[in-house]
Chains A and B, each alone.
Chain A
Amino acid sequence: EAEVAQSPRYKITEKSQAVAFWCDPISGHATLYWYRQILGQGPELLVQFQDESVVDDSQLPKDRFSAERLKGVDSTLKIQPAELGDSAMYLCASSLGLGQGDTEAFFGQGTRLTVV
């Protein structure tokens, strides 16, 4: 069964260091999402790609976060410098497209980030 792959599963980094997460969506899925889930809360969208283009990054803290999906397939989310408040689960999801019939989002297992 096709899955969204994320790595690493766990990451511990020191404050002010750089950290990067990788996501490989389900093959053929044009839409890719990065969500952040703070402990005890629901996920919140950071950035959404349609193919290689960003369609929503309104909640992405652009002074320290960046995301790219250069060839419209896999994606990288970077934080530089990391802050204590960035400790969270980072979830990647993908879906076929934007139409109603094909927007079911499939989630990866997430990357648990701890900033110390």
Chain B
Amino acid sequence: GDSVTQMEGPVTLSEEAFLTINCTYTATGYPSLFWYVQYPGEGLQLLLKATKADDKGSNKGFEATYRKETTSFHLEKGSVQVSDSAVYFCAQTNYGGATNKLIFGTGTLLAVQP
């Protein structure tokens, strides 16, 4: 079935370091891909999305490119801040039909130290 696999955390970085969180997916069709962020004790917030191959989603300095050939959607940021500390979830959904549920990875905890 459809699934999402993320790199395990925690990822611990110093402020201003480069961030990569790997995400790969398996899907029967052509899904849309998402990164959500969850701050402690909060719900999920959409960080960025891409709806077709080669699309690049970007927001708040974060970027991810939809790579159909490698079935990947890796999250990157050039210079992380302490305020970026959170859990990051990669997700996919297939539009069409009666349901468009999000399928999430297990999440990656990012801890940024000053």
Give me the interface of A with B, judged by CB distance under 8 Å: 4, 6, 31, 33, 35, 40-45, 48, 50, 55-56, 91, 93, 98-100, 103-110
The answer on a CB contact under 8 Å between A91 and B100 is: no
Given contacts A43-B44, A50-B98, 19 further A-B contacts (CB under 8 A): A33-B101, A35-B102, A40-B107, A42-B89, A42-B105, A43-B104, A56-B99, A93-B44, A98-B96, A98-B100, A100-B32, A100-B51, A100-B95, A103-B95, A104-B46, A105-B102, A107-B43, A107-B44, A109-B42
Asked whether A41 and B107 contact (CB < 8 A) given A103-B93, A104-B46, A107-B44, the answer is yes
Cα distance A110–B36 in the bound complex, in angstroms: 15
Q: How far is the CB of B4 from chain A (nearest CB, A)?
A: 8
Cα distance A44–B32 in the bound complex, in angstroms: 17
Q: Which residue of chain A is the closest to B51 with respect to CB atoms? A: A100
Query: Which residues of chain A are near B98, meaning CB under 8 Å?
Result: 50, 55-56, 98
Cα distance A33–B43 in the bound complex, in angstroms: 13
Cα distance A41–B44 in the bound complex, in angstroms: 13
Question: What mask results when residues 16 to 34 of chain B are scored 1 for a CB within 8 Å of chain A, else 0?
Answer: 0000000000000000100
Give me the interface of B with A, judged by CB distance under 8 Å: 4, 32, 36, 41-46, 49, 51, 89, 91, 93, 95-96, 98-102, 104-107
A-B interface, 5 closest residue pairs, ranked by CB to CB distance from nearest: A42-B104, A107-B43, A56-B99, A100-B95, A45-B101
The answer on a CB contact under 8 Å between B45 and A99 is: no
Asked whether A43 and B102 contact (CB < 8 A) given A99-B95, A103-B95, the answer is yes
Q: Which residue of chain A is the closest to B89 with respect to CB atoms? A: A42
Cα distance A99–B100 in the bound complex, in angstroms: 9
Q: Which residue of chain A is the closest to B101 with respect to CB atoms? A: A45
Query: Which residues of chain A are near B51, meaning CB under 8 Å?
Result: 100
Cα distance A91–B89 in the bound complex, in angstroms: 14
The answer on a CB contact under 8 Å between A48 and B101 is: yes
The answer on a CB contact under 8 Å between B107 and A42 is: yes
| A-B contact list, 15 entries, CB within 8 Å | A31-B100, A42-B4, A42-B106, A42-B107, A44-B104, A45-B101, A55-B98, A55-B99, A91-B44, A98-B98, A103-B93, A103-B100, A105-B46, A108-B43, A109-B41
